[in-house]
Each structure stands twice: as structure tokens, then as C-alpha cells.
Amino acid sequence: MNEIRIFSPATVANVSCGFDVMGFCLDHVGDEMVIRKVEQKGIHIVHIEGFDLPYDAKLNVAGVSALAMYDTLDLDFGFDIEIYKNIKPGSGIGSSAASAVGSVFGMNELLNRPFNKTELTAFAIKGEALASKCEHADNLAPAIFGGFTLVKSLAPLQVLEIPSPDNLYAVIIHPQIEIKTSEARAILPGQISLDKAITQWANFGSLIHALHTSNYDLIKASLQDVVVEPHRSKLIPYYDRVKEAALHAGALGSGISGSGPSIFTLCEGMQTAQRVADELKATYAETGIAFDIHVSKINTEGIRIINS
């Protein structure tokens, strides 16, 4: 096998109370990439569609993660990478993560899988860091492992797979403005009070328990973020109105997707998710800001081969 086409999914990081450690994987929304073995050594970005991104592998997220893997190997051939980007950079649904994991996943398949999922995540961290100016894996891990993931530690990298309740759906509303992750990180406080820390880790612990036990009421009670949301929500126009509308339409809860501006909502059942999506459409249409909406089951498979 010399060439592979893959679907690299969008992801939601943080999931309200799990800043920098928690994430889940979306279905249908994502990039496509083609990875090809070629005679010329090195990593070559040969085609990009969708958004204007650098062709220099050292300046491209997919290129940097590919090089992180490539440099550990002593190969007498190289790889061409084609990127068909559907996830807008700066949208908050893991655009850079999709690029970062796509290249390493594709190369690993063409090399007959010398690396496991955790090792692939570690290479992808290098690409993601180019975009967000710091190392974190909360978008990368769900893209590679699928479902919900918890990044237990970065050094050594340890990723835990958390079960997804069968009837859990996500609705994502993406206002068409750009928020750079690096800027959304810069506005966060360096320290938080003990009171807030206690509330946050209680919510996070109970979210993990709720996912393990498919307890939708407890998911609802746990989706609260007292640490990051109060700061970042100011960057997202009509954030409170969206949250209110989602809850009113029956959502379990909602929060900022990654560093925004996308807002995620979790719902029990497809019908509720569709109702929430309709309500959010109507609510956001009044703001005059362009947006798109996705309804997705939790994607438990993660990144996948489309054909080879």
C-alpha cells in the first residue's frame, strides 16, 4: 500500500469542566487527507484545499507532526501529504488537531503500524503546539482514539478512554468569527481560588462518573465550568443567549468548544439534539452573524481510512 485517504475528525476539547484534559470526537465534520509514500526523502506538503495554509512542512501543523515521526525513523523514502481542509482554522473544533493527527495516522498505516495510538498522539502534540503555542492533547487524543478521552498526563503521555453513553449526541454551533487559541489562552488567569478549584474538580469527577454509568442527569449537573468559561465567554457574541436557548430546548448542558468560538451542547437522543439545533438556528439567525450548525453522534471510532 503506497497511498491512503483518511477522514480526520473534528473534536470538542475541554467539555466545560475538563480544561486541557478532556475531549470528545465528532462524526461527519472533519478534514480529508491523502498520504503517499514517495521516493524523495522527507515530508512534502504537495496540495492544500479549503484554507490558505503554509506548504513548508516546518510551518504546517500536519508537516510538523509528520516530521516529529519521520525524524525518529531511518527511511530511504519520504511522504507527500495532500490536505482537504473542511474545518476552519480558529473555529474551536480542533482544526489544527485534525491536521496534526491526519499526517501521522496516515504515515503509520503506510508503515504497517509501528506506533500505537499514544505514540501517534505524542507526535501530533508537536504539530498542535505550532498552532496553539503550548503542548496539550485534549483535541488530539479523541481524534485518534475516538469517543471521550482524558489526558491523564503529558509527561509521560497517558490517555484514558472514557465510555460514551449510547444515546448521547452533540450539537455544535459555529459563529463565523475566528478566535486564536493562543489569544484565548493568554486571557486566562494564572491562578484560581481554592473554592473554584473544588467546584471544578467535583464537576469533572462527576462528569467522568456520569459517562461511565450513562447517567444523563448527572452529565447535566456536571457540565459547569467556573474556571475558564467566565473569561472566554466574553469573546463569543451572544454566548449566554445560546446557552439559555439550548437548555430551554432540552439540552443537558453546553459550553465553549475548545477555545471557541464554537459552542457545544450535549443532548440525550437524536430528537432532542435536532430540536436544540433548530432552536439555536432560530436564536443565532437574529444576531446577524453568519454561523453553521452540526448535529453529531459521539464518534467512537475516531480517525479512519476512507480508502487506500
- For residues 34 and 81, the answer to whether their CB atoms sit within 8 Å is yes
d(CA 131, CA 259): 12
| 117 lies in the site for ligand HSE, by CB under 6 A | no
d(CA 243, CA 116): 38
132 versus 164: smaller Cβ distance to ligand HSE = 132
| 136 lies in the site for ligand HSE, by CB under 6 A | yes
| 268 lies in the site for ligand HSE, by CB under 6 A | no
| 200 lies in the site for ligand HSE, by CB under 6 A | no
Instruction: State in angstroms the smallest separation of the CB of 22 from ligand HSE.
Output: 9
| 132 lies in the site for ligand HSE, by CB under 6 A | yes
Site for ligand HSE, residues 139 to 168, rule: CB under 6 A: 139
Q: What are phi and psi of 192, to 5 degrees?
A: -130, 160
d(CA 130, CA 119): 18
Element of type H or E holding 210: helix 194-213
* Residue whose C-alpha is closest to residue 302's, from 123, 121, 156: 121
* Residue whose C-alpha is closest to residue 284's, from 244, 257, 251: 244
| 220 lies in the site for ligand HSE, by CB under 6 A | no
| 91 lies in the site for ligand HSE, by CB under 6 A | no
d(CA 295, CA 126): 30
Part of the chain binding ligand HSE (CB under 6 A), chosen from 133-141, 193-201, 205-213, 295-303: 133-141
Instruction: State in angstroms the smallest separation of the CB of 181 from ligand HSE.
Output: 4
Candidate residues 3, 5, 20, 50; the one interacting with ligand HSE per rule CB under 6 A: 20
* Residue whose C-alpha is closest to residue 144's, from 306, 265, 300, 298: 300
Part of the chain binding ligand HSE (CB under 6 A), chosen from 104-112, 178-186, 195-203, 271-279: 178-186
Part of the chain binding ligand HSE (CB under 6 A), chosen from 117-125, 181-189, 233-241, 267-275: 181-189
- For residues 159 and 147, the answer to whether their CB atoms sit within 8 Å is no
- For residues 29 and 95, the answer to whether their CB atoms sit within 8 Å is no
Site for ligand HSE, residues 224 to 263, rule: CB under 6 A: 258-259
What is the total count of residues that contact ligand HSE (CB under 6 A)?
13
Tally of CB atoms within 10 A around 286: 9
Catalytic sites, residue numbers: 128, 181
Q: Which residues bind ligand HSE (CB under 6 A)?
A: 13-14, 19-20, 132, 136, 138-139, 181, 184-185, 258-259
